[in-house]
Amino acid sequence: MFCCLSACGNPAVPAISETERYPAGQGSVSTAPFPRFDLPLANLPQADKPLFYAGKALAHQPWITAPTITDARDGLGPLFNARTCLGCHVKGSKGFIPQDDKTALFSALVRVSIAGQHLKNGVVNEPVYGDQLQTQSTSLTHRFRNARSFTARSEAVKPEATIYLQWTAHTFTYPDQQQVELRAPKLDIRQLNYGPLHPQTKFSLRNAPAIHGMGLLEAIDQRDINALQDPDDKNGDAISGRINMVWDPVTQTTQPGRFGLKASRPNLQTTIAGAFANDIGISNPLFPSQPCTTSQMHCTLQVNGNNTDGFELPQDLLDLVVNFNRNLAVPKRSAEQYKNTQNGRALFYQTGCANCHTPRFVTPQSAALPHLSNQVIWPYSDLLLHDMGKALADNRPDFIASGSEWRTPPLWGNGLQQPMNGYQQLMHDGRAQSVEEAILWHGGEAQNTKQKFTELNKKERQQLIKFVESL
């Protein structure tokens, strides 16, 4: 029997609002015809712009090896993944996942851990390699390891590993027989320079997510997020939504998580301080150690780039980068796309996407950040963890997030990655090359919604996809 979506107990479609064109409220910026995610919020006061650009310089210019004549920009490594923030968060957007098996990973990470829980790390680090495989080091020796003249420098710090991906494909067939090829990556870790990994190592491949609109996400009242969680699925929609509980080194307490792909960081300051320490090898007041484990003796013995206060990145410079991130804008939606995607918008609600990709929040008043206050924003995320099923699982718990839970990613700016970076790579490991592939990977709590999507006709599916790309 024919049963149209709205007659089958599907969620209601809220009336469209003109504010939907402005995802970051009054902070939304015009970027056409060249979209970018590295501009300041449109309502950032003029007087605050020099600080924004000073922070941007620190996020953009490469860090260098200590010692140098200036101690403001050195301290890279000894082990690291990239020299700059924007080297992974390309133009403020996502990183790049190599789509072949010959290009080594450079703007994504592989986290490693073993069984167990740790109050502050959320995981028990792999004993020799720590919590992340650093694929670069300050020594050039590894590049020349076959050249005889360099063998004398065997004491140099070697990168931990080189990481490649192997891709496996399967075909998904819609009820109307249309087919889509879905590819998934498998890790191929080579040149483990510090011996074998622990036999029970758990791995998590994570692409760098986009970092626009972060200050507005941070501004959302925790009570609004709490109101969306439904850990025991009391409303019976098969969608739970949980809050990760994570360590906050600033307050030295456990707090709700909000940032990172499994919401394992409580605020921007901790997220960014962690990125400096682990991704670039820059010690700072929140993460004072170098990225070396006790098994990596040459690493621990390297010259550091500490300033007089004992860190490679003092608090005031960390604050500048946090301030830069906090004030990154989100582009406006085009008037035309906003107008032409209304059928897709209705389907987005009716199939149940909006049950996790929460469209709208209003930020509370903040005396410290008036321009982030009282903004109607449209991020399309509940910032909660959802079990997304086996196919997406990394099987590596992170604080209380399980091996198959991921935080709902915001969808604002979704369609801009392709024009901005020349590729579209979605999901935590960049496996989906289009919104359609991303939806078809949804499982677990999103299984019913995916099912409804696959049962739409081809035209409706395209309408829904176009809507997501217009955000």
* Footprint of ligand HEC (CB under 6 A): 59, 81-82, 85, 87-89, 95, 107-109, 206-209, 211, 214, 239, 259-262, 264, 268, 271-272, 275-276, 279-280, 321, 325, 351-353, 355-357, 386, 388, 392, 406, 408-409, 411, 414, 426-428, 435, 438-439, 442, 445-446, 449, 453, 468
Please choose, from the candidates 125, 278, 108, 295, the residue with its C-alpha nearest in 3D space to the C-alpha of residue 200. 125
109, 279 Cβ separation under 8 angstroms: yes
Nearest approach in angstroms of CB 157 to ligand HEC is 18
Task: Choose between 52 and 276: whose C-beta lies nearer to ligand HEC.
Answer: 276
From the CB of 411, what's the least distance to ligand HEC, in Å?
Answer: 6
Q: 297 and 79 in contact (C-beta within 8 Å)?
A: no
Of the pair 41, 446, the CB lying nearest ligand HEC is at: 446
CB of 154 to ligand HEC, least distance (A): 27
Read off the tokens for 316.
């005031």
Measured from the CB atom, the residue of 155 and 181 that comes closer to ligand HEC is: 181
Cα dihedral sign for 15, 16, 17, 18?
A: negative
Structure tokens at 245: 């509980």
Nearer to ligand HEC, 25 or 410 (CB): 410
Q: Residue 369: which of 41, 22, 58 has the closest Cα?
A: 41
In the complex, minimum distance from the CB of residue 155 to ligand HEC, in angstroms, rounded to a whole number: 26
Of 150 and 369, CB closest to ligand HEC: 369
Q: Which is nearer to ligand HEC, 31 or 323 (CB)?
A: 323
Q: Is there a contact between 391 and 442 (Cβ–Cβ < 8 Å)? A: no
- What is the distance, to the nearest Å, from the Cα of residue 211 to the centroid of all Cα atoms in its chain? 7
Helices (H), 96-238: 214-219, 222-226
Cβ 152 to ligand HEC shortest distance, Å = 31
> Between 150 and 307, whose beta carbon lies closer to ligand HEC?
307
The answer to whether 281 touches 293, Cβ cutoff 8 Å, is no
Cβ–Cβ < 8 Å for 259, 271: yes
Contacts 24+ apart (CB under 8 A), 354-357: 354/11, 354/380, 355/11, 355/237, 355/239, 355/449, 356/239, 356/241, 356/381, 356/382, 356/384, 356/386, 356/408, 356/445, 356/446, 357/381, 357/382, 357/408, 357/411
- How far apart are alpha carbons 191 and 449 in whole angstroms? 42
Min. distance of Cβ 123 from ligand HEC in angstroms? Answer: 11
In DSSP notation, 233-247 reads -TT-SS---B--EEE
Residue whose CB is less far from ligand HEC, 150 or 164: 164
Task: With CA atoms as reference, report the closest residue to 112 among 23, 224, 194.
Answer: 194
| Edge-to-edge strand list for the sheet holding 124-125 | 124-125, 108-114, 202-207
Give min distance, CB of 150 to ligand HEC, in A: 26
Q: Is 97 or 197 the residue whose CB approaches ligand HEC more closely?
A: 97
Closest distance of CB 153 from ligand HEC, Å:
25
Q: Which is nearer to ligand HEC, 76 or 197 (by Cβ)?
A: 76
CB of 451 to ligand HEC, least distance (A): 10
> At its nearest, how many Å lie between ligand HEC and the CB of residue 25?
18
Enter the DSSP assignment of 172: E
